Amino acid sequence: MADLADLADLADLDPELAALRDAAAAAGKAPMVDLSPAQARERVVAGNRLCAAGPDAGVTVTDLDLDLVADGGRPAVRVYESAGEPSATLVYAHGGGWVTGDLDYADELCRFLAHDAGLRVVSVDYRLAPEHPFPAPVDDLAAAWDWAHATYAGPLALGGDSAGGNLAAAVALRGTHPAAFLLLLYPVLGLPDETPSYRTRGTAFPMGAADMRWFFDHYAPGRTRGREPGTDLAPLRATPGALGGLPATHLVLAGHDPLHDEGAAFAAALAAAGGTVTVASHPTLGHGFLRFTAVSAAAREARSAVVAQARRLAVLPRMHPEPTNSCL
């Protein structure tokens, strides 16, 4: 349960999420940091029941295994398509701290993005740590990004939530192919304890600072090795020149999230570099709120806002957009 002093400067947590938090505390549920990666994966799969089912009718779903990565990795993709010509193709990376998550993790959102936003969505099941640590997940998403560019015509975009947002930003910063837009949902952009929200939201529900350290320790153990980490690991390290080359970007921030401030800092840096960036802030929601749409009306409303913004981004003029910085 969150330390109330730690969260004193925040808006109250959404009551439906607070009820989940209190029930978990009453049940004596073990914290993530006490679990093995296998146990954490089981918990995340069990949590799928808290996600509302996305549209089924009108959405075609195809699973593919791709032989893409030079070291023998075979990332799978799930392609979501609705009737008619898509406005763009979105290559999407699910969350889960690089340690958990699979193609079902973001299935609901991907269905809504295909059905309501008119996108073709290529959801990528990248390899997970600790069996496949950094940079394997980045390389897997980059390989899927290459594949999508070779496979589909029209605008292509990148997106992801949490750890998937980290991967999407990293691949966009590599600059191998132009992206139509970038969709980052409560993304990991820096390293643990680098921004104030690691303290002010350190014990937030459902994920706090200790959980993020646990994920990083499995994904990139000894991550700096005495060197400044690059943007493949910490996109917040990007130079103004690199940030200025990014496409129109939409960031979604949760108030009860240790990652809140690094997302805000990334948005500010993008704007300062002359980029086009919009920010949607949800002060009453916690990190990973898209995993709770079956129980939280506020999470469902936020999901609908994500889908609506993705639809707008997909139809923006592609040639020389005017830089803007706005908060939705």
The number of beta carbons lying within 10 Å of the beta carbon of residue 308 is 15
The residue among 49, 105, 44, 15 whose CA lies nearest residue 296 is: 15
- How far, in Å, CA of 162 to CA of 259, rounded? 9
- Rounded to whole angstroms, the maximal C-alpha distance in the chain is 55
Q: Which member of 140, 257, 282, 296 is catalytic?
A: 257
Q: Is the dihedral of CA 229, 186, 8, 209 positive or negative?
A: negative
**Ramachandran sector of residue 288 (left: φ over 0; alpha: ψ -120 to 50; beta: rest):** left
Query: 326 catalytic, yes or no?
Result: no
Q: How many CA atoms lie within 13 A of 154 on its CB side?
A: 12
Strand 76-82 to 59-65 pairing: antiparallel
Query: 256 catalytic, yes or no?
Result: no
Q: Which member of 82, 123, 162, 197 is catalytic?
A: 162
Query: 296 catalytic, yes or no?
Result: no
The contacts of residue 22 (CB under 8 Å, 6+ apart) are 1
Q: Which member of 115, 211, 287, 296 is catalytic?
A: 287
Active site residues: 162, 257, 287
